[in-house]
Amino acid sequence: MSKKGLLFNCGKSKVMHFGEDENTLVMSFLDSVSSYTYNKHERIVGTGVVRCDISSFIFEKLEEKGIKTHFIKNLNNGKMLVKKIDMFKLEVIPRNYAAGSMVRNYPVIHGTRFDPPILKIDMKYSNDPMLNDDYIVALGIATKKELERIKELAHEVNNFLSSFFLEKELLLVDFKFEVGRNEKGEIIVGDEISPDGMRVWDRNTYVSMDKDVFRFGKGDLVEAYKELQKRLMV
């Protein structure tokens, strides 16, 4: 019996189904926007499609750079075909500038540039607790060797995207992504990289084009996402 079309997994902002075969998945991006910190959740029509398009574009750029991802193709209408990979229960978060929880929890001024960037790793569990190397190894989430590769990959992705965004007169403040093992055991980029999980500021005005627009009621989130998309893809 073919599993194509059967529900595989659900998340807060995406639904996943088996794709063309058991080695592929279709990720459907939902119009669901939430902020755990500010206890906000809404359905904002149009956000799913734009997130999918931006994430697809970023994955394509990473692939062109030689950075492997699970991306296969954008199916349009908020759907993405990806390779099925064995995901680590981790969120990898490079920080280039101080914002969000970094400012709330530490004595640092909003907008401070980090040189070199800070790398934060959280566990995908409950309220996403922050981990250090010892916790990751002790909990069996990844080996020391895998963790070294994850960190190396995080810096590769961040260095490339930060430079690419800067070419578009944008500051990549911080972002999160996930990683997994492919069929060869290689650690590659998975999930999504979109304004739902990043902070992006206009280089000159510092205007946000990310989910902070929703968090702080700064305006129309769809228009902010579309402006980011336009800026990136010109």
Q: Radius of gyration over alpha carbons of the chain, in Å? A: 17
With cut-offs at 50, 70 and 90, classify the pLDDT of residue 37.
confident
The CATH-assigned architecture of domain 86-221 is: 2-Layer Sandwich (3.30)
pLDDT digits (tens, 9 = 90+) for 98-129: 999 999 999 999 999 999 999 999 999 988 99
Task: Among 15-19, 51-55, 144-148, name the one with the lowest average pLDDT.
Answer: 15-19
Q: Could you tell me which of 124, 123, 190 has the C-alpha nearest to residue 153? A: 190
pLDDT at residue 148 tops 90: yes
pLDDT at 10: 54
Which one has a higher pLDDT value, 148 or 13? 148
Mean pLDDT of 22-31: 95
Q: Could you tell me which of 75, 77, 76, 74 has the C-alpha nearest to residue 60? A: 74
pTM over 0.85? The answer is yes
Q: Could you tell me which of 79, 88, 108 has the C-alpha nearest to residue 174? A: 108
Considering all CA atoms of the chain, what is the largest pairwise distance in Å, rounded to the nearest integer? 57
CA 23/CA 100 separation, integer angstroms: 37
The CATH-assigned architecture of domain 7-83 is: 2-Layer Sandwich (3.30)
For residue 67, the SS3 value is coil
Domain ranges (residues) in the chain: 7-83, 86-221
Average model confidence (pLDDT) across the chain: 94
